[in-house]
Structure 1
Amino acid sequence: MKKYSFLTILALMILLLSTCSKMDDTYKEYLNYGQSKYPGKPVQVKVLPGYNRLILTWTNSADPKVTHAKVYWNNRADSVQVPIDPSIESVYIPFNNMPEGPYVFEIYTFDKEGNSSIKVEAIGRVYGDVYKSRLLSRPINDATVVNDSLNILWGSLSDTTIIGTEVKYIDNNDEPRLFFIDKSVLLSMTPDFSRGDIEYRTVYLPVNAIDTFYTDWVGMYVKGQRYPLPKDGWVATASSFDTRPGSSYRPPSNLIDNNPSTLWVNQISPQTYYPHWAAIDMGDVKSIEGFIVRQRPENVNPVKDIELYTSMDGVNWTFHMKYTLENRAGAEHYIDLPETTQARHIKLIALNDYGNSNNVALAEFGAYAR
């Protein structure tokens, strides 16, 4: 029994070795020579996108037999053949005048005998006018001038391909200036600017792109730093004022004396009640950008709600806004008008105060330009 089993096993082993030998003969060409007939394939293949163009690049293999490569795209409807110098490390193939859209490239290398490498695929895209039309400018939340510096508070965009924004203007010396503001900057400060027009555009650089993309230039006017209009020659009137003698004499002219410690107060005896108004004749027509109102230095019944008006003749008044003053002693308010206004007269009507009293008390009232 043991002898029979040994002979059987031996016969099976001989049969198996014979079969394997025949298989080796069948695939001998591939096993012994096939692998060596594949030229080295491209490695580290990349598609570098651009504006209506791209560059296909790869690192050459170490195979010195490679003589040329062939690249197919558009489902093999288009192709290009390029010579390969094995002594050069990288291959760069430019594709120009390409329609916008995605591309799939098939790459093969060949030796002088026509043997082909295995296929290598690379996927990329070409950017064009459609892509550019969808780019958004980085928003400006606020633009002001401080000490002849243009200060821009930038908003944010979620697009990670933004690298920054360009800003240009004519500076105080009538020289053109161009600044690049990195995307990481939230508050930019650029010099030699008092007021005027600026333009800005946002810069995009997609991953591995060979071209930089820009939004269209956007223009805006930036007003200058606020400066109070001089009060020389101004005349103030009011609905009433405190006529008691000494320190209690508090006429509306105290509103234009540039002294925050003196006040305009309404008539106390006999008592007058809200609303109280004060008006100022500036002597001639001025361009004003807003109003200046200053609370009294003591925290006693600060004025709360006011209305603001302008007039050309002191008779016909234009209402501009209702405004709530800050509940803080000595608070000075610069209250912007929606747009530049021509006026000779300005007027303030006090509606109430934080102390629910009958009396108004303000330190200064004026206007500013920019």
Structure 2
Amino acid sequence: MSIKMKYILNLIIVFFVLISCSKMDDVYSEYVTEGEDIYASVPYDIMDFSGNKRIKLSYILRNAGNVNKCMVEWDNGNGKQVFDVSPKLPIDTISMIIDNLEERDYTFILKMEDSFGNVSVKKEIVATVFGEKFQASLSPRIIGSMVGGNTVDSIVIDWIPSNEKHVGVLINYENTAGVPMQKEVGRFDSRTVIRDWKPLSTLTYTSYYIPKPRAIDTFEVAAELELPDRIDFTGEMLDNSEWEIVDFSSEENAEAQWSDYDYQGKAEAAIDGILETFWHTQWDAAQPDYPHYFTFDLKKTAAINKIACYRRQGDDRGQIRFKISSSLNGVDFTEIGTYNYDNTIDNQNYDIPITTARYIKYEALEGGEFFAFLAEIELQGNYLSSNLVPTSDISILDLSSEENAEAQWSDYDYQGKVEAAFDGLLETFWHTQWDADQPNYPHYFTLELANEIQLSAIESFRRQGDDRGQTKFRIETSTDNVTWESQGEFDLNASSDEGQLYYFTFQPSAKYIRYTALEGPEFFAFMAEMNIYGE
């Protein structure tokens, strides 16, 4: 190679080396200027998070092991705060909060300092702090309407859509037992149903807002607006066409001699829907004194919230105090309440605690004479559906365990599985695992229904002839398999082969049902059959 060629080649090599050095300078040029000046690592990807009289700032540091301080300035240096930092290697996200700020826009300047006293190139971010002005601009989410629902104790609230800063509502109320309850309402929820609400109580709600996405503080509108003290549940008057008198203390059919009705004076006259007929206690052959009573069968189970009583029209000699009791089986009665009656008024209405009943007992306790009478008794509420959900509309969605080893002693190859509790056969049963493992309580299964229903009752049958199963269980319902509501915990008589009915007074909407066995004498649970009622 000639000397001239070698010279040209060396020039080319030097040229490329200089270019490479220039590119390396670009990498650290923001940290080094004028020869030996060295800068600390600079913060990257700065983000702001607005708050109530405060701000949160976050940023990323890369290869910043020597950095130990972050200096933040605003208002041309009149505001300043220094934060100690200890970034991890090779990359770390650092966050800090600046408190006690006025409500306005700010330009924040961030600089890093390392342990050698070197300071980084400054970085800026514009952010907004919120406070009283934003709070004053807020108002509670607007209620479009609030009415009684399709059950005797429910409230249906329809909400007006809110703005993008609204994040939710928290409702506070009391249930029928007087226990404080809360219910959350999502930003996009347009309707809220509250069940088991205590009449004559107060319901309040608080609305929540954030000023910007990523805000660290939520602003709330004080719950100053109270909803009405009472929702009038007009419900429906229960049809009495199938009602039947099943028991009474006495009646006086001699009253029929002055009436167009041959049953005048009998207890049945108090449930015939006719005000000119009436029940009258005995006065002809005998004159029994108080108390006087009659019991009638509704023929269907109902949720009842109001009773109307009509005296014998135009007659003020009747009872002045009475008692109402209810029963699901006609044998075991529970007192609903004792009430005063103004016998100078033709009719009076009485709100009662929400009661699930098939049998009602009316008992006159005292009056000015020895006898009692009543022209009519009416009930208001809802009949609970007796529609049986077909087993073909029930799918097993989830379960804790099942024991198919039970099939070795059965003619059914699915014996022991959950599906055995939904085949219409009492000789098959679900049994929790006992062979490969022996899990303890709780045991559960989850069902999906073909259609959403208003759940009115379930009926449970134990494994026939076996009293070792669960004695308590819980029922939960959901419409989306995400949000679940407990409908209560129930006792099960494990010594009875008979079906045991459990009513849901408030008829929850259900697409999904979860049954959970909670306790029993052994580690296992079982069930021969479960019927679901609703429509």
TM-score when normalising by structure 2: 0.36
- Tell whether the 8 Å contact from 2:87 to 2:94 is kept in structure 1 after alignment: no
Query: What residue in structure 2 maps to residue 264 of structure 1?
Result: none
CA distance in structure 1 between the aligned counterparts of 2:32 and 2:128, rounded to whole angstroms: 39
Counterpart secondary structure, 2:171: strand
Give the counterpart letter for 1:154 in structure 2: W
- Tell whether the 8 Å contact from 2:158 to 2:192 is kept in structure 1 after alignment: yes
CA distance in structure 2 between the aligned counterparts of 1:207 and 1:67, rounded to whole angstroms: 30
Bigger radius of gyration: 1
Matches within 5 A, 1:355-370: none
Query: What residue in structure 1 maps to residue 527 of structure 2?
Result: none
CA distance in structure 2 between the aligned counterparts of 1:215 and 1:111, rounded to whole angstroms: 45
Query: What residue in structure 1 maps to residue 524 of structure 2?
Result: none
Query: What residue in structure 2 maps to residue 187 of structure 1?
Result: 191
CA distance in structure 1 between the aligned counterparts of 2:30 and 2:218, rounded to whole angstroms: 50
Query: What residue in structure 2 maps to residue 214 of structure 1?
Result: 220
| C-alpha displacement of 1:192 | 0.5
- Is 1:178 aligned with 2:182? yes
Give the counterpart letter for 2:206 in structure 1: R
- Is 1:223 aligned with 2:228? no
CA distance in structure 2 between the aligned counterparts of 1:45 and 1:182, rounded to whole angstroms: 31
How many aligned positions are there?
A: 218
Unaligned runs of 5+ in 2: 1-14, 239-271, 275-313, 315-343, 351-535
Identity of aligned residues (%): 19
In structure 2, the CA distance between the partners of 1:74 and 1:226, relative to structure 1 (3 Å rule), is same
- Is 1:92 aligned with 2:95? yes
CA distance in structure 2 between the aligned counterparts of 1:194 and 1:145, rounded to whole angstroms: 12
Runs of 4+ with >4 A deviation: 29-33, 227-230, 281-288
CA distance in structure 2 between the aligned counterparts of 1:81 and 1:183, rounded to whole angstroms: 38
1:84-125 CA-partner distances (Å, limit 9, x unpaired): 323272222222222222221100112344332222112222
- Tell whether the 8 Å contact from 2:31 to 2:40 is kept in structure 1 after alignment: no
| C-alpha displacement of 1:174 | 0.7
- Tell whether the 8 Å contact from 1:145 to 1:194 is kept in structure 2 after alignment: no
Matches within 5 A, 1:1-370: 33-34=32-33, 37-87=38-88, 89-146=92-149, 147=151, 148-157=153-162, 159-196=163-200, 197-205=202-210, 206-217=212-223, 218-221=225-228, 222-227=230-235, 283=345
- Tell whether the 8 Å contact from 1:194 to 1:225 is kept in structure 2 after alignment: no
TM-score when normalising by structure 1: 0.51
| C-alpha displacement of 1:287 | 8.7
1:2-56 CA-partner distances (Å, limit 9, x unpaired): xxxxxxxxxxxxxxx9xx9xxx9xx9x9799539823221112122222222222
1:127-171 CA-partner distances (Å, limit 9, x unpaired): 2122111112111111122211221011112x2121111111111
In structure 2, the CA distance between the partners of 1:198 and 1:47, relative to structure 1 (3 Å rule), is same
CA distance in structure 1 between the aligned counterparts of 2:30 and 2:195, rounded to whole angstroms: 74
| C-alpha displacement of 1:202 | 1.1
In structure 2, the CA distance between the partners of 1:285 and 1:134, relative to structure 1 (3 Å rule), is farther
Give the counterpart letter for 1:40 in structure 2: S
In structure 2, the CA distance between the partners of 1:186 and 1:115, relative to structure 1 (3 Å rule), is same
CA distance in structure 1 between the aligned counterparts of 2:232 and 2:179, rounded to whole angstroms: 18
CA distance in structure 1 between the aligned counterparts of 2:39 and 2:69, rounded to whole angstroms: 13
Give the counterpart letter for 1:211 in structure 2: D
| C-alpha displacement of 1:77 | 0.5
Counterpart secondary structure, 2:71: strand
In structure 2, the CA distance between the partners of 1:33 and 1:71, relative to structure 1 (3 Å rule), is closer
Query: What residue in structure 1 maps to residue 329 of structure 2?
Result: none
1:224-254 CA-partner distances (Å, limit 9, x unpaired): 3115789xxxxxxxxxxxxxxxxxxxxxxxx
Unaligned runs of 5+ in 1: 1-16, 231-256, 260-280, 289-370
CA distance in structure 2 between the aligned counterparts of 1:226 and 1:167, rounded to whole angstroms: 24
Query: What residue in structure 1 maps to residue 461 of structure 2?
Result: none
1:255-294 CA-partner distances (Å, limit 9, x unpaired): xx969xxxxxxxxxxxxxxxxxxxxx99469799xxxxxx
In structure 2, the CA distance between the partners of 1:33 and 1:219, relative to structure 1 (3 Å rule), is closer
Counterpart secondary structure, 1:131: helix
- Tell whether the 8 Å contact from 1:150 to 1:194 is kept in structure 2 after alignment: no
- Tell whether the 8 Å contact from 2:161 to 2:188 is kept in structure 1 after alignment: no
CA distance in structure 2 between the aligned counterparts of 1:31 and 1:122, rounded to whole angstroms: 19
In structure 2, the CA distance between the partners of 1:111 and 1:145, relative to structure 1 (3 Å rule), is same
